[in-house]
Structure 1
Amino acid sequence: MEIQEIFRGRLVDHIQLVVADLDASKRFYSAVFEALGVPLGGEGPGFFWADELFVSTADSPAAAGEKTGRVHLAFQAADRAAVERFHAAGLAAGGKDNGAPGKRSYHPGYYAAFLLDPDGNNIEAVHHGRAKKSADAVRITF
């Protein structure tokens, strides 16, 4: 039997976005994830995924025929340079600026950028500055 491993965050197990144009979304998310050092996990008929994010068309079985409403997703970035790469890559891949890279007042060290994806979702990359994480991810082995 092949051992399988997945990594999950502390609160969110996974998120599904149901989009109008899968190809446009794949171009956008492939570009911003590459900028953040996150590989695409795979794809199938009507969907693709990376880490905890699944993106599909409305006709995929999990979507029940409905496109998701506007959401805000924030992805962790390793440093400020990754936030800046995320923003540039997302713009080049069809995203729209919704907040250039810069400091935010949410807490000391918060550095983020915001883009609107092809469906108008507010997508953020954030680096929390000098902070200590208890773990990079939770490892689940089957």
Structure 2
Amino acid sequence: METNELHRGRLIDHLQLVVRDLQASLNFYTAVLAVLDIPIVSTDQDYFWADELVVSSAESPTALGVLTGRHHLAFQAKNRATVDAFYRAAMDHGGRDNGAPSERAYHPGYYAAFVLDPDGNNIEAVYHGEARRSARSVTIAF
């Protein structure tokens, strides 16, 4: 039996987006997640996944033929330069501007960029400022 390993660290176990054009979404998420050092696992079963995010076509057995609609999803970035690179990658791979990189009023040091993915989901990369983590993530092996 193959051992699977997942990395978890916060509130969400997983999020599934059901999209109209799986290839367009694969191109978009491959580009923006590469900037964030998050690998994508592509399958031949109408979906791909990256850590807690699953993106599938409406034909996927888990989608039941229904698109998910518009969501807001924020990815953590390691610094401001990563937020900037995320934004550029999104613009170059089918994303639409929904808020160029800048500091936001949410709290001091909140630096973020917002883009719309090919299905209109509001995708954000955010850097909260200098901080120290007790661990990068929690590893779950099964």
TM-score higher than 0.5: yes
Q: Which deviates more, 33-42 or 96-105?
A: 33-42
Query: Aligned equivalents of 1:105 and 1:43: distance in 2?
Result: 40
Q: Deviation of residue 69 (structure 1)?
A: 1.2
**What is the match of residue 80 of structure 2?**
80
Partner Cα distance (1:43, 1:84) in 2: 29
> Which residue of the partner structure matches residue 60 of structure 1?
60
Q: 2:116 corresponds to which letter in structure 1?
A: L
Instruction: Give 1:128's aligned residue.
Output: 128
Structure 1: 4+ residue segments shifted above 3 A: none
Gaps of 5+ in 1: none
Residue matched to 2:7: 7
Which deviations, in whole Å up to 9, do the C-alpha atoms of 1:76-99 show, x marking residues without a partner? 001111100000000000100000
What is the DSSP-based 3-state SS (H/G/I as helix, E as strand, rest coil) of the residue aligned with 1:28? helix
Deviation of residue 139 (structure 1)? Answer: 0.9
In structure 1, the residue matched to 2:28 is 28
Q: Secondary structure at the match of 2:100?
A: strand
Tell me which residue corresponds to 1:45.
45
- Give the aligned length: 142
CA distance in 1, matches of 2:138, 2:12: 11
TM-score (norm 1): 0.95
- Counterpart of 1:139? 139
> In 2, Cα distance between the equivalents of 1:50 and 1:25?
12
Instruction: Between 30-39 and 86-95, report the one with greater CA deviation.
Output: 30-39
Report the Cα distance in structure 2 between the residues aligned to 1:98 and 1:113, rounded to whole angstroms: 8
Deviation at 1:135, TM superposition (A): 2.4
- Residue 131 of structure 1 aligns to which amino acid in structure 2? A
TM-score norm. by structure 2 comes to 0.95
Q: CA offset at residue 103 of structure 1?
A: 0.3
Give the superposition deviation at 1:5: 1.4
| Structure 2: gaps of 5 or more residues | none
